[in-house]
Amino acid sequence: MSDWGARAAGHLEALAAFSAEGPGVTRLPYGPHHLAAVDYLTELMQDAGLAVHLDAAATLVGRAEGGGAGTFYMGSHQDSVPQGGAFDGIAGVVLPVLAMQKLAEEGVTLPFAVEILAFADEEGVRFPTALVGSRAVAGTVDMAVLDMVDRDGVSLRAALEGFGCDPEGIPALARERGSALGYLEAHIEQGPVLEAAGDALGVVTGICGIERHALRLVGETGHAGTVPMAARKDALVGAARVIAEVDSLAQATPGLRATVGQVDVRPGAVNAVPGEVRMPVELRCEDDTTREEAGEAIAAFASLVAAEMGLGLEVRRTYAQPAAPCDTALRAALVQAVKAGGGRGMELTSGATHDASAIADLCPISMLFVRCRGGVSHRPDEFAAPADLGAGVSAIAETLRRVADA
């Protein structure tokens, strides 16, 4: 019998070599390392019996024809963050390919077509946009993003053309909603929950919605030694109160995750009272209502602080992405597939965004998480054990069987 985990680990190790120099894996979209990964994955897909092509959005597509009852989609992304790991994204391409190979070796014929999608750009590192490939499949891509440029001034349009793609063909990539049966994305968890529970695999209940707010508090700067404390309008003190409230609110609200990851203080001198602070507040939650209410509560608290301290305040919501719940039926199939392999079928939420969140506009979605050591991701020491990868291959194959029998 094939050791699917060892085979998956071997492919992922080989793919990790397609990287810029330096620690870990740095594979940005539309460059030479991406092209090398495409060549490797093309051969891997063909070995599994799939017909392969690169589409207009630089998504590598491997397709197995079925009995005419629609198409089931699987996949994830090929790109990485700078000095990232060898598993994030790319494991979700390798595992379903091996699952299809496993079914073929077992003589299983599915009554529907299967497409495995290896997307080019999920991380959004090179260009100030992301999910172009998955949004193209869902029919929701904004063609204006083609004019966005990277730090070298190269437009996304030019990068795609240089990669041998025709970006004007992107609108035609949209799949028919009526024939899209569902989508399954496998991904390392990127967190510590499965490891703490002693489970190799977990089934995702949904992908958190995200919103971001830009806050600007304006006070008065002055000499740190001559402005009396009682007379100060210290913008950083006001910001600190807001930051503490952001944390307190998230601690008290189940499922809410809130972060202030950057603080810009002006004039930024050790001997000057801070006169202005700019900072983003990011909120994530699987429940959109909870997330939106949290955003309103933080804005209200910031207004209260500003009024008490005599500060000017600007609050602007700069980004909002709704939550993407996973389909109940597909979740159930995944849970039973995990249990069939000896797992508990643990369910958990995804605090990170994935291509599945874009595919949710096309069809029902599902996600399978694979345990990662230490909950580490986006780092060179990112790791998933071969045995866990093998369990993922088996669970995907079993899920396809169950979808076929439904």
For 336-378, the pLDDT digits (tens) are 999 999 999 999 999 999 999 999 999 999 999 999 999 999 9
CB atoms within 10 A of CB 262: 9
Would you give the distance in Å from CA 185 to the centre of its chain?
A: 11
Three-state DSSP state, 92? helix
Domain range for residue 196? 4-207+323-405
Indicate if 180 and 253 belong to the same structural domain. no
- CATH number for 10: 3.40.630.10
Cβ(200)–Cβ(388) under 8 Å? yes
Q: Looking at beta carbons, which pairs linking 247-253 to residues 24 or more positions away fall under 8 Å? A: 249/294, 249/297, 249/298, 250/294, 253/285, 253/290, 253/294
Query: How many structural domains compose the chain?
Result: 2
Indicate if 117 and 51 belong to the same structural domain. yes
Q: Write down the H helix ranges in 253-385.
A: 288-309, 328-340, 355-359
Indicate if 19 and 117 belong to the same structural domain. yes
pLDDT of residue 30: 98
Indicate if 36 and 104 belong to the same structural domain. yes
pLDDT of residue 68: 75
Last residue of a domain, one of 321, 346, 362: 321
Tell me what the mean pLDDT of segment 50-69 comes to: 94
Tell me the pLDDT band of 206, cut-offs 50, 70 and 90: very high
Asked if the model's pLDDT at residue 177 lies above 80, the reply is: yes
Indicate if 122 and 164 belong to the same structural domain. yes
Three-state DSSP state, 50? coil
**Residues in a beta bridge with 214:** 280, 316
Last residue of a domain, one of 321, 342, 365: 321
Look up residue 329 and give its DSSP letter.
Answer: H
Indicate if 185 and 237 belong to the same structural domain. no
pLDDT digit string, tens, across residues 121-141: 999 999 989 999 999 999 999
Indicate if 282 and 375 belong to the same structural domain. no
Asked if the model's pLDDT at residue 110 lies above 90, the reply is: yes
Asked if the model's pLDDT at residue 1 lies above 80, the reply is: no
Angstrom distances, CA of residue 17 to CA of 12, 36, 39, 378, 382: 9, 9, 13, 16, 15
Three-state DSSP state, 247? helix
Cβ(260)–Cβ(182) under 8 Å? no
The number of helices, as runs of H, and strands, as runs of E, in the chain is 11, 14
Indicate if 336 and 316 belong to the same structural domain. no
Tell me the pLDDT band of 15, cut-offs 50, 70 and 90: very high
Residue whose tokens read 């990127």? 190
Element (H, E) at 279: strand 276-285
Nearest to 154 by CA among 20, 30, 55, 57: 30
Last residue of a domain, one of 321, 353, 385: 321
How far is 116 from 64, CA to CA, in rounded Å? 9
Q: Which residue has the higher pLDDT, 1 or 84?
A: 84
How far is 266 from 318, CA to CA, in rounded Å? 22
How far is 27 from 45, CA to CA, in rounded Å? 20
- CATH number for 293: 3.30.70.360
- Type of residue found at 100: M
Nearest to 78 by CA among 65, 63, 61: 61
pLDDT digit string, tens, across residues 381-406: 999 999 999 999 999 999 999 999 98
Indicate if 202 and 178 belong to the same structural domain. yes
Indicate if 257 and 145 belong to the same structural domain. no
The two tokens of residue 209 are 């919605």
Indicate if 317 and 338 belong to the same structural domain. no
Angstrom distances, CA of residue 341 to CA of 171, 204, 331, 391: 40, 17, 16, 7
Tell me the pLDDT band of 103, cut-offs 50, 70 and 90: very high
pLDDT of residue 246: 98
Indicate if 156 and 241 belong to the same structural domain. no
* Strands 324-325, 201-207: pairing kind: antiparallel
